[in-house]
Amino acid sequence: MKLTEIWIYPVKSLGGVRLKKAGVLPKGLQYDRRYMLVDENNRFITQRVFPQLALFKLSLGENVFTVTHGNDVIDLPVSPELSKGFTAVTIWNDVVQGVELGEKFNQWFSDRAELKCKLVFFPEENERLVDKDFAQNNEQVGFADGYPFLIIGQSSLDELNSKLEVPVPMNRFRPNFVFEGGKPFAEDNWRDIKIGANGFTGLKLCARCVLTTVNQETGEMGMEPLATLSRFRKVGSKVNFGQNLVARNHLKVSEGDEIEIESFQ
């Protein structure tokens, strides 16, 4: 099995950036979900409620992320100055300390998303623990929903698409790692794996939500693929697709890395 795609999502719930290689940090891939938009109550916002966020696209430049929305463009520093004070922001049930980027950015995103919002950054030294019911060694995470890494096999998507009238692309599921080889849903049963030289541990299957029904090109929300997934990938109240991981080493991963399965769940 081989790693074929590496993705980061620098601003939570906006467009992803595909990389050839990436640094593996304790809170996730370098730059992954270190920015987030929050509402007037400093609570996180996502495509679950505001599917129009899909229309913000990102690319990586020289020390900046370029965000485009239609014909409009703004650059975000990959590592902003942290001279401003911290602001308490809420993501799910966690309250963490973020740094506001300033009114210029708040207004730009608010105008184009057509909702009042602010842009905040999560410094690397800040603390946000992975769910203690699944964590192995008090691992941490940035602004991702709950876990620092997500892996999905191309075979799993192919199996899902064989059951859909209209196939969906992998970007509906926002993985960090996509691999080829193996049977559909092989990743479900992985425990300890290596991607190249970097070790990872699978903690739990990724429970999916309505965000998977948002067309990432149009920002429109539908019923699929969640409706179909719920018919054959439901366990209790959860519809699962992909495996959440934590890292045992903090090296680098590259497209083409071999994936070695060391143990199973």
The string of pLDDT tens digits covering residues 131-187 is 999 999 999 999 999 999 999 999 999 999 999 999 999 999 999 999 999 999 999
Task: List the helix and strand counts (H, then E) for the chain.
Answer: 3, 19
> For 229, phi and psi rounded to 5 degrees?
-55, -40
The b/e string for 46-82 (b: 16+ C-beta within 10 A; e otherwise) is: bbeebbbbbbbbbeeeeeebebebeeeebebebebee
Q: Which residues 6+ apart lie within 8 Å of 243 measured at CB?
A: 150, 151, 152, 187, 188, 190, 202, 204, 205, 206
Tens digit of pLDDT for each residue in 9-22? 999 999 999 999 99
**Which tens digits make up the pLDDT trace of 38-81?**
999 999 999 999 999 999 999 999 999 999 999 999 999 999 98
The domain locations on the chain are: 2-261
Tokens of 134: 């699944």
- Read off the pTM: 0.97
> Which residues fall within 8 angstroms of residue 154, CB to CB, at 6 or more apart?
4, 170, 178, 179, 180
pLDDT tier at 82, thresholds 50, 70, 90: confident
Widest pairwise Cα distance in the chain: 51
Q: Is the dihedral of CA 41, 39, 107, 61 positive or negative?
A: positive
